[in-house]
């Protein structure tokens, strides 16, 4: 599990000052980006060096409580599943220890031409490092 801290900006909120529901997917993306960085790999490395694209094929969010403007959030990201040509990340969004949302995303492994490919072993090894259940 890799924690990432984010501050809710005004543009993340709706007219009521509550984080707009779709922005949780942006928070998940920030969590994935920092997950890779914590493992010593950048998304840019995955795309350019390994020629691997990881488009989202499934996304799910369970909302429990509202985040608001200026809240400091922690997005906890973990790799739940790593298959031959796909992977699944799970997320928890917290504010001061209070669970606000949980969710997951599933990603396909594609080459730059959009064809399914096997996850390169070098990338898989980096992703698996220290992850239970991956």
14 noted as active-site residue: yes
The whole-angstrom separation of Cα 35 and Cα 91 is 11
Sheet-wide strand order for 86-95: 2-7, 72-82, 86-95, 98-108, 56-63
Distance in angstroms (rounded) separating the CA atoms of residues 33 and 27: 10
Q: From the candidates 14, 62, 70, 111, give the one annotated as an active-site residue.
A: 14
Catalytic residues: 14
């Amino acid at each position: 599990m890799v924690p990432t801290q984010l501050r809710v900006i005004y543009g993340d909120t709706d007219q009521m000052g509550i984080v707009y529901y779709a922005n949780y997917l942006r928070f998940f993306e920030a969590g994935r980006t920092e997950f890779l960085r914590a493992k010593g790999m950048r998304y840019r490395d995955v795309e350019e060096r390994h020629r691997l694209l990881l488009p989202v094929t499934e996304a799910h969010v369970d909302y429990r409580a509202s985040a608001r403007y200026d809240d400091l959030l922690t997005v906890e990201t973990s790799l739940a599943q790593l298959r031959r040509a796909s992977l699944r990340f799970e997320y928890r969004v917290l504010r001061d220890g209070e669970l606000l949302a949980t969710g997951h995303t599933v990603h396909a492994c594609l080459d730059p031409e959009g064809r399914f490919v096997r996850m390169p072993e070098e990338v898989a090894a980096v992703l698996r490092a220290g992850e239970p259940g991956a």
